[in-house]
Structure 1
Amino acid sequence: MLTLLTIKDFAVVRTAELEFGAGLTVISGETGAGKSLLVDALGFLSGLRADSGMVRHGAERAELSAQFDLSDAMPARDWLREQELDEGDDCQLRRTLRADGGSKAWINGRPATLAQLGELAGLLVEIHGQHEHQALLSKASQLALLDGFGGHEAALTAVETVAAHWNALLREREALSKQGDVSERIAYLEHQFAELQREALEPDAIAELGATHRRHAHAAALIAACDGAFARLAGEDAPSMTRQLQQTRSELMRVVEHEPRLADIDALLDAASIQLDEAIALIERVREDLDLDPAQFEDMERRLGRIHDLARKHRVAPEQLAAQRDALAAELELLRSAGQRVTALDGEIAAARKQWQAAAAKLTEARTKTAKALSKSTTALIGELGMGGGKFEVALEPNAAERPDANGAERVEFLVSANAGQPPRPLRKVASGGELSRISLAIEVAALGGDLVPTMVFDEVDSGIGGAVAEIVGQKLRALGEKRQALCVTHLPQVAAQGHAHYRVSKAASDGVTQSAVEKLDAKQRAEELARMLGGVEVSKEARAAAKRLLSNVD
């Protein structure tokens, strides 16, 4: 819901700030005062092409800003989250138009493209009137409105799910078909796989081979070091460290009775003796494992050489060769079973096609019923809105696409005949802006609750009508405002009286420059404004009395 619209240096408006609430807000004013500028501001905030002529004379740029409450706009919240532009429950659209023709846009304070601005605005506000920016004119929006009005969510979800599955199968089938004859590829992969399979390529095996190779490469030095250490620690030819340690303990124990602390030293030496014995035993085991075997060393050299050659060939580290081997095995398996998979896919695709057709048929049946109901109710409303003889039709057009469509088996086109005897034409081709606004109003009222856009704006929806029809238009707008936030620029008091809130736009000359001002009216001011709209420049007692009656007749 739109909560705040701020305008600065825009056309003849120096500055204006409008607060909006739920329900119907009407905007009135004298001809040429700039009532539609508020709609134009929303249009530019919705991504319309920049127009330097909209910058107030003498200003460098125009600044426009709109604040929205997203509690009733879940699609917009989802879009912001996907674009990583979300800021809680509120959203701000901001745009500047420069006098040199340039413009900038922001969403929640972050720079945005006009395309992003347009996408988001399309989920927040819908403008009806003599403007090109009208979501209801697109077939996609018409289809969404029809499905929303008919409550087709479950049927549409079923079609979307089956269509996604069918499309996935088709993509897999196409990918396999593009491979063509894979016999050469299979032969190549088999050769590569055989080379890798001949070696022990697990990372632990390669690491163990490397360590064993290093031991053999330095076997002579290792043997000499182990022999020397053993001789020093436990050798029999010279005083060994073990023997010296035992002699030291014996000498100390002979005099321990004279110095008790020597017992602590003996305990330490005893522990050292145990560790020394363990070290000697380990040296013996290491020495037994060492062997100068040139043949075995050469074999390890060749194995390491082959592993490094394979790593260079496949452009991976030696430790990644096992993963490369497994990947080749998986691709071989896939290619060998490709023919079988294609055959299986043909059956799965045929089954998915039948499932989609069944789900789409149910959706088509529901849409057909909904289309008749919407056509009937909208046609009745068109007549009430001063277009007697007019007719509205919801035409379902078969979708000729060969691939599965998540939106079902048809497209929707809203057709309108504004006068009796005229053939129905697409809504987007209706020439009269006033007629288009009233038809849009009729559709929205007939489809109350079916349109997900929370804010609807009607510009001069009452153009060319008056009297009882004007009162009906106002009543329908108020009824729409009970379900959705509605804004209406109007020149008719019968329509203005139906508003839940009322703004007046006035113009005056200041320093030789015409400027517009926007004012929210209280109850007394509102009655006076309605009297002006009824009586013109000279506001009579009768006009004021009629204005009070209009206000008193509003539910």
Structure 2
Amino acid sequence: MLRALEIHDMLIIDRLDLAFQPGLNVLTGETGAGKSILLDSLGFVLGWRGRAELVRKGATQGEVTAVFELAADHPAHAVLAEAGLPAGDELILRRVNTPDGRKTAWVNDRRCSGDVLRALSDVLVELHGQHDDRGLLDPKGHRDILDTYAGIDAERAACRSAWDTAQAARKALQAAQTGLDAVRAEEDFLRHAVRELDTLDPQPGEEQELDARRRLMQQAERIQDDIARACQALGTEGAEGAMGDALRWLDGVADRAEGQLDGALAALDRAMTELGEALSEAERCLDGLQFDPGALELAEERLFAIRGLARKHQVAPDELAALADTLRARLAALDAGDADLARLRSDLSRAEAAYDSAAAALTAARHGAAKRLDAAVSAELAPLKMDRALFETQVTEGPAGPSGRDTVAFTVATNPGAPAGPLNKIASGGELSRFLLALKVCLAQTRDTALTMIFDEIDRGVGGATADAVGRRLSALASGGQVLVVTHSPQVAALGDHHWRVEKRVVDDVTTSTVTPLDPEDRETELARMLAGDTITPEARAAARALVTPKP
């Protein structure tokens, strides 16, 4: 709740330090004394959009500081965590405005944006008044208000989950359809390419192998004669025969050489072995060069076919086999596409049916809650002297979304037979205030007591017993929480737990606004002024004393 509000150099406020309390806090004063400036200043530090020129004349800057007390489970902690700001059991908001309109804000001594202030404002303060476009008068929030009153969080969660599932199924079907359409657009190409690749059936490494064989066959005719002559020179008619003769001759005389030929014989023996291996390799090469003349043509034809197909598909020859696998997979997906689409359509149909069921459950719950809310508001309107007015919560079909298919609007008709319309379009100022109060009282059972509620002259246009009824309802709303009310009604002010008087003073031709907390005696005087005007009579004091005396 709001604990303190410090205002420096804002409009006609020089310096104000206010300490608010739990319960019903009442601010009273003459028209123009500065009560609205207090709310403007609070709205300024909370990031609300309001007056452009707020800095007091002659001041270098205006500054407002608001201090809130936070419970451990207060929703403001989540806002602070998301913004990366420090949190504790106390929240200090400070905002500065310069005469040229520049604004700077801090949260717990950390710089922050106006968006962060407004996000905190949503969980800290709730303003109600004739010109309030943030709360009950905003039709955009009526559905959420009705849902909170109805207590249908589980149904809303189920509907959101069903919506998300249906959206995912719809996206999956669209993606599959788009992919299938793209594949179908190139079906002829795919089938031709796969046929061509399957017919050729290129293998990894085959292109290099064919190229090597082709070059070898091209060289064969030129090297065959030399290899044949080499084989002849190495054979029995050449080196092998001559070395054989030398080996026989030396071996025949070796026993008479007293061992001196042993080395030569061993060397010749080794040479004969090496010579035989050389001859064998040369002959094997020569045999390998014997090929069918058509083989070269066949090898060249396949080599050129592989290279041409690789160029066509802009891949390396060794990647053709993998490309064939990829294209076959795309064709398989195409062939299975209709079955996949049928399955995805079935998934979407089930998801949409689940969403329809969840949305219908929400609609039924909202219609039931709307009737209960209408009856409750009507019961509250009677003590507020509006028993002939009609409040109706209209639940109509709207666009589908995560929260169902319903559009909710609070409408009123101030006179029997008159057409119903939006709250802020049909009701007058005083009527609007009472409609808002009645509605807020009915919603009190579901309200967040962490919120500080502010009512700006919500009792305008009423008096007597009606004003007393307004005050009692404001007091009930303040039970267990905090309510700030700006009022001109003595009946409302008399029910406050804490009372401040707002006054305007002129000193040395300078106008300033001050706010004074009232003790019981001063409070009696203020209530008497509100009853009698400038001249406070004994009768007015007696009436004021009667207002604050607890009723038996």
Q: Counterparts of 1:328 and 1:509 in 2: how far apart (Å)?
A: 90
* Alignment counterpart, residue 534 of structure 2, candidates 528, 532, 537: 537
Equivalent residue, structure 2, for 1:232: none
Query: 1:48: how far off?
Result: 3.4
TM-score when normalising by structure 2: 0.70
Q: Counterparts of 1:528 and 1:173 in 2: how far apart (Å)?
A: 75
| Partner-residue secondary structure (3-state), 2:100 | coil
Equivalent residue, structure 1, for 2:152: 152
| Residues 26 and 490 in structure 1, CA contact (< 8 A), matched pair in contact too | yes
| Residues 139 and 411 in structure 1, CA contact (< 8 A), matched pair in contact too | no
Q: Counterparts of 2:499 and 2:366 in 1: how far apart (Å)?
A: 39
Q: Counterparts of 1:353 and 1:112 in 2: how far apart (Å)?
A: 43
| Residues 45 and 121 in structure 1, CA contact (< 8 A), matched pair in contact too | no
Equivalent residue, structure 1, for 2:487: 490
Q: Counterparts of 2:335 and 2:44 in 1: how far apart (Å)?
A: 59
Query: 1:513: how far off?
Result: 0.7
Q: Within the alignment, does 1:451 sit opposite 2:468 as a pair?
A: no
Equivalent residue, structure 2, for 1:250: none
Equivalent residue, structure 2, for 1:353: 352
Q: Counterparts of 2:26 and 2:327 in 1: how far apart (Å)?
A: 71
| Residues 6 and 17 in structure 2, CA contact (< 8 A), matched pair in contact too | yes
Deviations 1:154-197 (A, max 9, x none): 21111111112111212222233333323688999x99xx99x9
Deviations 1:198-238 (A, max 9, x none): 69xxxxxxxxxxxxxxxxxxxxxxxxxxxxxxxxxxxxxxx
Q: Counterparts of 1:539 and 1:15 in 2: how far apart (Å)?
A: 29
Matched ranges for 1:145-294 at <5 A: 145-179=145-179, 180-182=181-183
Deviations 1:365-393 (A, max 9, x none): 22111111111221232332233422111
Equivalent residue, structure 2, for 1:103: 103
| Residues 43 and 49 in structure 2, CA contact (< 8 A), matched pair in contact too | no
Q: Within the alignment, does 1:515 sit opposite 2:516 as a pair?
A: no
Return the letter of the residue paired with 2:92.
Answer: Q
Q: Within the alignment, does 1:466 sit opposite 2:474 as a pair?
A: no
Equivalent residue, structure 2, for 1:82: 82
Tell me the C-alpha RMSD between the 2 structures: 3.5
| Residues 105 and 112 in structure 2, CA contact (< 8 A), matched pair in contact too | yes
1:29–1:329 distance in 2 versus 1, CA, 3 Å: farther
| Partner-residue secondary structure (3-state), 1:67 | strand
| Partner-residue secondary structure (3-state), 1:88 | coil
Q: Counterparts of 1:502 and 1:158 in 2: how far apart (Å)?
A: 47
Q: Counterparts of 1:68 and 1:328 in 2: how far apart (Å)?
A: 67
Return the letter of the residue paired with 1:474.
Answer: G
Q: Within the alignment, does 1:439 sit opposite 2:438 as a pair?
A: no
Equivalent residue, structure 2, for 1:120: 120
| Partner-residue secondary structure (3-state), 2:84 | coil
Q: Counterparts of 1:137 and 1:39 in 2: how far apart (Å)?
A: 18
Deviations 1:35-82 (A, max 9, x none): 122222233334333634322111122212222233287443333323
TM-score when normalising by structure 1: 0.69
Q: Counterparts of 1:73 and 1:435 in 2: how far apart (Å)?
A: 37
| Partner-residue secondary structure (3-state), 1:47 | coil
Equivalent residue, structure 2, for 1:475: 472
| Partner-residue secondary structure (3-state), 2:514 | strand
Q: Counterparts of 2:108 and 2:435 in 1: how far apart (Å)?
A: 34
1:394–1:118 distance in 2 versus 1, CA, 3 Å: same
Equivalent residue, structure 1, for 2:226: none
Q: Which ranges in structure 1 are unaligned for 5 or more consecutive residues?
A: 200-312, 315-325
| Partner-residue secondary structure (3-state), 2:418 | coil
Q: Counterparts of 1:76 and 1:5 in 2: how far apart (Å)?
A: 18
Query: 1:553: how far off?
Result: 2.6
Which protein shows a greater Rg? Answer: 2
1:47–1:185 distance in 2 versus 1, CA, 3 Å: farther
Query: 1:417: how far off?
Result: 1.7
Q: Counterparts of 2:132 and 2:356 in 1: how far apart (Å)?
A: 36
1:72–1:153 distance in 2 versus 1, CA, 3 Å: farther
| Partner-residue secondary structure (3-state), 2:359 | helix
| Partner-residue secondary structure (3-state), 1:26 | strand
Query: 1:330: how far off?
Result: 11
Equivalent residue, structure 1, for 2:210: none
Return the letter of the residue paired with 2:513.
Answer: S
1:354–1:183 distance in 2 versus 1, CA, 3 Å: closer
Equivalent residue, structure 1, for 2:305: none
1:554–1:376 distance in 2 versus 1, CA, 3 Å: same
Return the letter of the residue paired with 1:25.
Answer: N
Q: Within the alignment, does 1:411 sit opposite 2:370 as a pair?
A: no
Return the letter of the residue paired with 2:522.
Answer: Q
Return the letter of the residue paired with 1:355.
Answer: A
Q: Which ranges in structure 2 are unaligned for 5 or more consecutive residues?
A: 206-313, 316-324
Return the letter of the residue paired with 1:382.
Answer: L
| Partner-residue secondary structure (3-state), 2:515 | strand
Query: 1:2: how far off?
Result: 2.0
Equivalent residue, structure 2, for 1:307: none
| Residues 73 and 124 in structure 1, CA contact (< 8 A), matched pair in contact too | no
1:419–1:84 distance in 2 versus 1, CA, 3 Å: farther
1:50–1:442 distance in 2 versus 1, CA, 3 Å: closer
Equivalent residue, structure 2, for 1:320: none
Query: 1:138: how far off?
Result: 2.2
Equivalent residue, structure 2, for 1:28: 28
| Residues 396 and 407 in structure 2, CA contact (< 8 A), matched pair in contact too | yes
Q: Counterparts of 2:452 and 2:339 in 1: how far apart (Å)?
A: 55
Matched ranges for 1:1-20 at <5 A: 1-20=1-20
Query: 1:139: how far off?
Result: 2.8
Q: Counterparts of 2:551 and 2:355 in 1: how far apart (Å)?
A: 50
Equivalent residue, structure 2, for 1:420: 416
Q: Within the alignment, does 1:385 sit opposite 2:384 as a pair?
A: yes
| Residues 12 and 515 in structure 1, CA contact (< 8 A), matched pair in contact too | yes
Equivalent residue, structure 2, for 1:58: 58
Q: Counterparts of 1:414 and 1:549 in 2: how far apart (Å)?
A: 38
Query: 1:538: how far off?
Result: 2.1
Equivalent residue, structure 2, for 1:37: 37
Q: Report percent identity of matched pairs.
A: 39
Query: 1:469: how far off?
Result: 0.6
1:51–1:448 distance in 2 versus 1, CA, 3 Å: closer
Q: Counterparts of 1:327 and 1:543 in 2: how far apart (Å)?
A: 96
| Residues 34 and 502 in structure 2, CA contact (< 8 A), matched pair in contact too | yes
Return the letter of the residue paired with 1:512.
Answer: D
Q: How many aligned residue pairs are there? A: 430
Greater shift in the superposed pair: 529-538 or 490-499: 529-538
1:413–1:537 distance in 2 versus 1, CA, 3 Å: same
Query: 1:475: how far off?
Result: 0.3
1:491–1:332 distance in 2 versus 1, CA, 3 Å: farther
| Partner-residue secondary structure (3-state), 1:508 | strand
Q: Counterparts of 2:358 and 2:549 in 1: how far apart (Å)?
A: 52
Query: 1:335: how far off?
Result: 8.1
| Partner-residue secondary structure (3-state), 1:422 | coil
Query: 1:121: how far off?
Result: 1.3
| Residues 50 and 103 in structure 1, CA contact (< 8 A), matched pair in contact too | no
1:341–1:111 distance in 2 versus 1, CA, 3 Å: farther
Q: Counterparts of 1:46 and 1:501 in 2: how far apart (Å)?
A: 23
Return the letter of the residue paired with 2:549.
Answer: S
Return the letter of the residue paired with 2:154.
Answer: A
| Partner-residue secondary structure (3-state), 2:57 | coil
Matched ranges for 1:323-338 at <5 A: none
| Residues 96 and 104 in structure 2, CA contact (< 8 A), matched pair in contact too | yes
